[in-house]
Amino acid sequence: MLIDFVPTVSGVSLAEAPGFLKAPGGAPANVAIAVTRLGGRAAFVGKLGDDEFGRMLAGILEQNGVAVDGVLFDQGARTALAFVTLRADGEREFISAHLKAMEVAKAAGALLSYDPNLRLPLWPSAEEARKQILSIWDQAEVIKVSDDELEFLTGSDKIDDESALSLWHPNLKLLLVTLGEKGCRYYTKSFRGSVDGFHVKTVDTTGAGDSFMVLFCAKW
């Protein structure tokens, strides 16, 4: 989890922004909270900085019905802060024991879904990001990638079936490719298809992929 600082005005640089609003963020937390709001059950397992922001984030999880028994506070770490810039069209730009957990979840009969949630500035290099993302690829039963992530992982600038299916592995049950305003494509072992997007006035796309995964996980 982290704290997003979102400018009060879009279409300007961080230096030009007159002010920022703080908001709880982080894809796993976004998904967990939204699942509980849709009537499901969710828990957050992870580590937060032992500071005011960390305690605030844990409190927000708990207030929204997310179990926080697995949350640890680290006195040697500070809660991450991310400054988000909004382009004029609403698109966002970020500056800024998984294997054991998967093993325990699988043993408990949980469905393992994977959203790489690629943030290249957080990695030492693009090569390292690709290597680490793919290192646990074949453990997931459901995978969701964006069109940008598909290009990054395959090295191809083509967003088509051939490119998507190059990421398929034998243990996979469903592969989802989100296409922004164009909707999404889906692939299973026996069929594939696409769903058109809804036409809405875009204000801020931050968390759009999280919301997509929320509805999928809550209704699976």
Q: Collapsing DSSP states into helix, strand and coil, what is residue 43?
A: strand
Catalytic-role residue among 4, 50, 89, 210: 210
Are 153 and 133 within 8 A, CB to CB?
A: yes
* pLDDT band for position 50 (cuts 50, 70, 90): very high
DSSP secondary structure letter of residue 7: E
Are 212 and 144 within 8 A, CB to CB?
A: yes
Structural domains of the chain, with CATH: 1-91 (3.40.1190.30), 97-201 (3.40.1190.20)
Residues 161-219: tens digit of each pLDDT? 999 999 999 999 999 999 988 999 999 999 999 999 888 887 777 778 888 888 777 77
Max Cα distance, the chain (Å): 53
The pTM score is: 0.65
Are 132 and 125 within 8 A, CB to CB?
A: no
Please indicate whether residue 210 is annotated as part of the active site: yes
Per-residue tokens: 174:
């469903």
Question: Rounded distance, CA 164 to CA 173, Å?
Answer: 14
Mean pLDDT, the chain, rounded, equals 85
